Chain A
Amino acid sequence: MTWDWSAVGDFMPRFWDGVLVTLQALVLGSLIAFALGLVWALAQRSTLRVVRWPVTAVTEFIRNTPLLVQLFFLYFVLPEWNITFSALTTGIVGLGLHYSTYTAEVYRAGIDGVPEGQWEACTALSLPRTRVWGAVILPQAIRRVVPALGNYVIAMLKDSPMIATIGALELLGQARQFSAVTFQPTEPITVIGVAFILIAYPASLLMRALERRLVR
C-alpha cells in the first residue's frame, strides 16, 4: 500500500472544482425533481384518464430503468433530434427527471396523508380549487414530506457521479482526469469516496432530526 500525500495536495484544486460542479448539479437537479415531481403527483390525481394513465405509465417506466442508460439516451439521442445540451446540462436534466418520479410518490403519500376533514372543510367553505390546493392541502402535505424529499436529495448526491460518464467534470470526472494524467488513481478516488461519506452522513443525520420535528 503506497499513499502519496503530495498527490492528494496536487489533486485538491481539481477537487474543489469538482465539489462545485457536484453541488451545482445537485441543487439544480433537486429543483427540477421537486417541481416536476409535484406536476406528476397532481397529474396522477387528475379525473381525466387521458392525463392520469400516460403520466403513471411514463413515471413507472422512468423509475424502473437505470439512470445511467437514461443519461446515455439523453446525451446521444437528443442531438440526433437536433437538441444539443452540454454534458453538465444533460446530466442535470437526467438526474432531475429520474428523481422527479421518486418525489412524485413522496408528494402522493403526503397528499394522501392530509386528513379527510380538511377536504370536507374546503368543500363546506366552497373554496376555489386553487385555494384548496395552494392554501390548505399542499402546505400540510409538503410539511410532512420534507424529510423524505431530503433523503432523495442525498440519494441523488450519491448518483451524481454517473454524470461523469457522459463527460461532466464533477468529483468523479475530476478524479478520473487527474489519475489519467498522473497515473495515481489511489489518492483521488479514495479522497472523493471519503468526501461523499463526509457530505452524506451529516446530511442524513439532519434528515433524521427533521423527521422527528416535522412528522407528527
Chain B
Amino acid sequence: MTDLTAGLWELLLQGLWVTVQLTVYSAALGAFVAFVVGVARTNRLWIVRFVSGLYMEIFRGTSALVLMFWMFFVLPVAFGWQLVPLWAAVLALGLSYGAYGSEIVRGAIAAVAPAQHEAGIALSFSPWQRLTKITLPQAWPEMIPPANNLLIELLKGTALVSVLGVGDITFGASLVRNALGDSAPVYTIILVMYFVLAFLLTRGMRALERQAKAGIGQTPEKGAGVRGKLSIRRQDAISRSSAGGGA
C-alpha cells in the first residue's frame, strides 16, 4: 500500500468525485421517473396505467449494462444522437433505477388507508390536491427504507460506467492497477471506498426517515443494538423488496 504515490491517489479521488456526481444526478432523475411512473400506475385511465406498466416492465426486464451499451453504441449510430458519456450514463442509470423505484412509489401509495382517499373526495379536493396534500405526505415515509436499498444498488450500479470509459472510481482503479502492476491494494481500497459511501448514504436516509415519520406523528423502529448500527440495510426491507436488486 506504500507504493501508491500522491498522483495515483489523486486518480482515485477524482474517480470518487465522478462516482458521487453520477450517484446524485442519477438518483435525482431516478426519483423523478419513479414518482411520475409510480403515480401514473394508479391513474384512472387504463391507457396511462398500461403505458407506465410497459415502461416499468421493459426497463426492469433488461440488464442495466446492456442498456448502457445500447445508449453508448447504438443511439449514436442508429439515431445520430451522441451524448456526453457522463450524461448517457446518468440517463441509463436514472431510467432503469427509476423503473425499480416506481414500484416502491406505487406500493407506498397503495398502502395509504383508502379512507384517506375517500375523505379527500368527500371534501371535494381536486385529484392533484388529493395526491399532493393527502396521499403523498402519508406515503412518503413508507418509501424511504426501500428507497435506501435501491440507492445502494444504484451506487453499486455506477461502477458499470467504467466499462464505457467514464472516469469513476473503478476506472481510476484500473489506471492505478496498470501503473502499479499490482491489483490487491488498489481494489481493496476502492471496495472500502464504496462501502463507506454506502454507509454514509444509509446514515443520511435514516435521518430523512426520522424526520419524515415525525411529520406524520410516528417514530421509526429502533435498530437492534450494535448489529443494527453496523448493518447497512434495514433487515426486513430486504425480504420485502424482492422486486429490487440487480444492477
A85 at the binding interface (Cβ < 8 Å):
no
Q: Are B170 and A152 in contact (CB under 8 A)?
A: no
Give which listed residue, B159, B235, B243, contacts A69 with CB less than 8 A: B159
Nearest CB in chain A to that of B181: its residue? A80
Q: Are A152 and B187 in contact (CB under 8 A)?
A: no
Give which listed residue, A73, A151, A158, contacts B63 with CB less than 8 A: A158
Complex Cα gap A61–B195 (Å): 7
- Size of the A side of the interface (Cβ < 8 Å), in residues, is 59
B74 at the binding interface (Cβ < 8 Å):
yes
Nearest CB in chain A to that of B242: its residue? A151
A151 with B79: in contact, given A80-B183, A109-B238, A158-B64 (CB under 8 Å)?
no
A192 to chain B: which residues have CB within 8 Å? Answer: 66
Q: Is the interface of A mostly helix, strand, loop or mixed?
A: helix
A186 with B78: in contact, given A64-B195, A80-B184 (CB under 8 Å)?
yes
Provide 22 A-B residue pairs closer than 8 Å at the C-beta atoms, listed in order of the A residue.
A57-B230, A63-B233, A64-B194, A66-B194, A66-B247, A68-B159, A68-B160, A69-B173, A69-B191, A72-B174, A76-B183, A110-B239, A151-B242, A156-B246, A157-B63, A159-B246, A186-B73, A186-B77, A189-B70, A189-B73, A197-B58, A197-B62
A-binding residues in B (CB < 8 A): 57-58, 60-67, 69-70, 73-74, 77-79, 152, 155-160, 162-163, 170, 173-174, 177, 182-184, 187-188, 190-191, 194-195, 198-199, 227, 230-233, 235-236, 238-239, 242-243, 245-247
B-binding residues in A (CB < 8 A): 1-3, 56-57, 60-61, 63-70, 72-73, 76-77, 80, 102, 105-106, 108-110, 145, 147-148, 151-152, 154-162, 164-165, 171-172, 175-176, 179, 185-186, 189-190, 192-194, 196-197, 200-201, 204
